[in-house]
Amino acid sequence: MQNTAETGPDTTPVDTTPIDTTPLLDDLYAACAALREAGPVHRITGTDGQPAWLVTRYDDVRAALADPRLSLDKRNATPGNYRGFSLPPALDANLMNMDPPDHTRIRRLVVKAFTPGRVEALRAPVRRIADELLDAMADRGRAELVRDYAGPLPITVICDLLGVPQEDRRDFLAWSDALITPDPARPQAMKEAVGAMLEFYTRLIAVKRAEPGDDLLSDLIAVRDDTGGAEDAGGTGGAAGDRLSEDELTSLAFLILLAGHENTVQLIGNAVLTLLDNPEHLAALRQNPAELPAVVEEFLRYDGPAPLAIRRFPVEDIEIGGVRIPAGESVLLSLASANRDPDRFPDPDRFDPARGLSGHLALGHGIHYCLGAPLARMEAEIAISALISRFPGLRLDIPRDEVRHRRTIRARGLISLPVAW
């Protein structure tokens, strides 16, 4: 007999036996289409091995992203419904685990670094970084694009923004890879990376506190230290007013560096591969570079770097797509499925920059909309523009079926992308 969830009066019962998520890794968009067609909400086994509710249709996902009853705070998970990877408190007090009012307070402090005006001021430095990376590649006639370009560009930009010393950046790449794509053969690698990153951030904050620079981290430290005695430097709780606790400061630096690097790497890599798969669009973009912003939006919709939004926990029993979900259970919102929903995007499996539709959910929706979205868009535009204009003969350097993908239930990108010109 099937285990079924309660549903609304106009829906059929939902099988609550968790389904196999392997197809979501092997053939994401085909699996999403099948689930979307079968129903709006499904019971799956989440990334932590625990059951979760997967929401698949555009309207439901968009509404859920902005629903205040769906909490990001893990303390709202009922026992047995969440068993995610544990971060130390000094790295866990970040925006991805917070609801208002703490989320509102911290976001207000950091959003000034990502306003359109501040991001536009970074355009020339980002183009300089892109040109320097391409200069280093040019004479070789070939490159591994993730290692040589898509990876170094965003890490350099974010590290410059935060004021991370040059000598620390190579280590960060290794730590980031260990967290985003765990190695089953080295189960301790994630814990080792977390420990190393905590030590790194603690040391970096101490350096910036002693010798402030013209960077975002120094600005955040100034906010943190202007607390009027509200909390000891080593405190772990939230801070009053427009203030940061020490843990919030460290966690915020961790989140900006990790999220600002990894998602942009995947966006650039996915975008270049999509253009190589669609040479007519690559040629059109070379002819009309002004269309690049619209093309980047279609990249985000068509094959964005994050298949899922951050897990959420209902603070009360709620109904999504006619399915009743009890308070405290894990809810996963499929951005990948929503962005290929034919009820919102006609012919969704076709890459079409001219479709003229906005509203994709690759960067979220509501109060948790991606803080670094303007920077990610700008970096992608510059990275792609500089690459295709420098190397008009750009092509894959291996057979298409040998391209190595990074596919987890939460991340979608490339491990490597060998190209030649």
- Global pTM value: 0.89
Tokens for 84? 């995610």
> Could you give the dihedral angle defined by the CA atoms of residues 219, 225, 231 and 233, in that order, rounded to the nearest 10 degrees?
90
Cα–Cα distance measured from residue 365 to residue 354, given in angstroms and rounded to the nearest whole number = 23
> What are the boundaries of each domain within the chain?
4-420
Q: What integer pLDDT is reported at residue 187 of this predicted model?
A: 76
Using the 8-state DSSP alphabet, how is residue 393 labeled? T
Contacts of 16 (CB under 8 A, 6+ apart): 2, 3, 4, 5, 43, 51
Segments in the chain below pLDDT 50: 1-4, 6-12, 227-240
Nearest to 321 by CA among 106, 56, 22: 56
Task: Give the fold, CATH level 3, of 4-420.
Answer: Cytochrome p450 (1.10.630)
CB half-sphere exposure, 221, CA atoms < 13 A: 20
Half-sphere exposure of 90 (CA within 13 A, CB side): 16
CA angle 22, 27, 33 (to 5 degrees): 100
* Helix-helix angle 189-210:246-277, to 10 degrees: 120
Q: Going by DSSP bridges, is the β-strand pair 331-333/313-314 parallel, antiparallel, or unpaired?
A: unpaired
Give tens-digit pLDDT for 149-172.
Answer: 999 999 899 989 889 888 888 887
3-state SS assignment for residue 376: helix
Question: b/e per residue, 219-239, with b = 16+ CB within 10 A?
Answer: bbbebbeebeeebeeeeeebb
| CA distance to 29, 41, 225, 312, per residue, from 12 (Å) | 24, 11, 56, 24
